[in-house]
Amino acid sequence: MVKRAAPINIEQPHALSGIELADLCEAAESAIIDGGGFGWLKPPPRKTLEAFWNGVLLVPDKTLFVGRVDARLAGSAILTRFPRNNEAQRHTGNISNIFVAPWARGRGLARGLVRACELFARKQGITFINLDVRATQAAAVRLYESLDYTRWGENQNYAIVEGKPVVGFYYTKRLKTHPKRNTSHLRSQNNLNDIVSSY
Ligand SMILES: CC(C)(COP(=O)(O)OP(=O)(O)OC[C@H]1O[C@@H](n2cnc3c(N)ncnc32)[C@H](O)[C@@H]1OP(=O)(O)O)[C@@H](O)C(=O)NCCC(=O)NCCS
């Protein structure tokens, strides 16, 4: 019998159920243990992670995107824009906290998460996306470069891991506009999958 690949979905939740929160925490813990947990080096207490995700949902300038494999949440990305008083940078956004649980990798979740951030950013009038990553996160470096992010700088003292400094890479991208692309038929705000894959 041919085994079908589990469906993936990219979503922009406004709230997380208890199960979704637990899935996201578990996914983050496994990514941290694997060595790539968006800044965490050791899994923090579960309550700290829960407070982190719940906090993100409360901040008006942050938008959370999550990736789902079958029914389980398995990764996230956060788009942050500058506060309104920063008029000069209102066209700039930052993508951070991208991770995918090790068991869910290699299915296009991270690519979908970045694209969802970009699509949402464009709708918000954002023109430039900035992001940064440890040079040692080879998969993430490849991901961003494959999505046309330009590396503009390096910081030799970006982070300290196991007592040693780790280089950081800084990326930027000017978002393209697709004036002819019509996405009005894609009505569901909660399920961005169709939009992400059509873009
Ligand atoms: C980076 C990461 C998010 C990729 O997640 P993923 O869902 O497996 O990635 P995708 O399946 O969407 O892959 C998209 C592209 O990323 C790159 N990529 C993903 N995994 C890779 C790997 N192991 N080696 C090299 N490139 C890789 C490739 O360019 C890939 O495109 P391709 O499949 O056409 O070659 C995941 O490996 C991860 O969580 N790493 C640890 C956390 C981290 O580094 N976060 C970023 C910094 S905060």
Distance CA 79, CA 3 (A): 35
In sequence order, what are the residues at sequence separation of 6 or more whose Cβ sits closer than 8 angstroms to the Cβ of residue 36? 99, 137, 139, 140
- C-alpha 1: how far from chain center: 35
Nearest CA to ligand 1 atom 39: 99
Give me 83's structure tokens.
């506060």
CB of 93 closer than 8 Å to CB of 126: yes
Does residue 3 sit within a domain? Answer: no
Using CB atoms within 10 A of its CB, is residue 138 exposed (0-12), middle (13-18) or buried (19+)? exposed
Domain that holds residue 45: 8-193
pLDDT at 188: 42
For the chain, the domain total comes to 1
In whole angstroms, what is the distance from residue 132 CA to residue 194 CA? 28
Residues at CB less than 6 angstroms from ligand 1: 31, 36, 38, 98-100, 105-111, 133, 137-140, 142-143, 146
Tell the residue nearest (CA) to atom 29 of ligand 1.
Answer: 143
Minimum mean pLDDT among 90-104, 120-134, 183-197: which range?
A: 183-197
Nearest residue (by CA) to ligand 1, atom 1, is: 140
Give the Å distance between the CA of 105 and the centre of ligand 1: 7
Distance CA 167, CA 160 (A): 9
Domain assignment present for 186: yes
State yes or no: pLDDT of 197 exceeds 80: no
* 139 alpha carbon – ligand 1 mean position (Å): 4
Query: Measured from the CA of 134, which atom of ligand 1 is nearest?
Result: 47
**Atom from ligand 1 closest to the CA of residue 143:** 16
Percent of the chain with pLDDT over 90: 81
Question: Is residue 199 in some structural domain?
Answer: no
- Look at ligand 1, atom 3, and give the residue with the nearest C-alpha: 99
Q: Kindly state whether residue 1 falls inside one of the protein's structural domains.
A: no
The answer, yes or no, to whether residue 18 has pLDDT greater than 50, is yes
User: For 21-49, how does the pLDDT look when each residue is reduced to its tens digit (9 = 90+)?
Assistant: 999 999 999 999 999 888 899 999 999 99
For residue 140, the CA-to-ligand 1 centroid distance in Å is 5
Is 198 a member of any domain? Answer: no
In ligand 1, the atom with minimum distance to the C-alpha of 67 is: 7
Do the domain assignments include residue 95?
A: yes
Question: What local confidence, expressed as pLDDT, does residue 177 receive?
Answer: 77
Distance between CA atoms of residues 74 and 15, nearest Å:
16
**For residue 157, what is the domain's CATH number?**
3.40.630.30
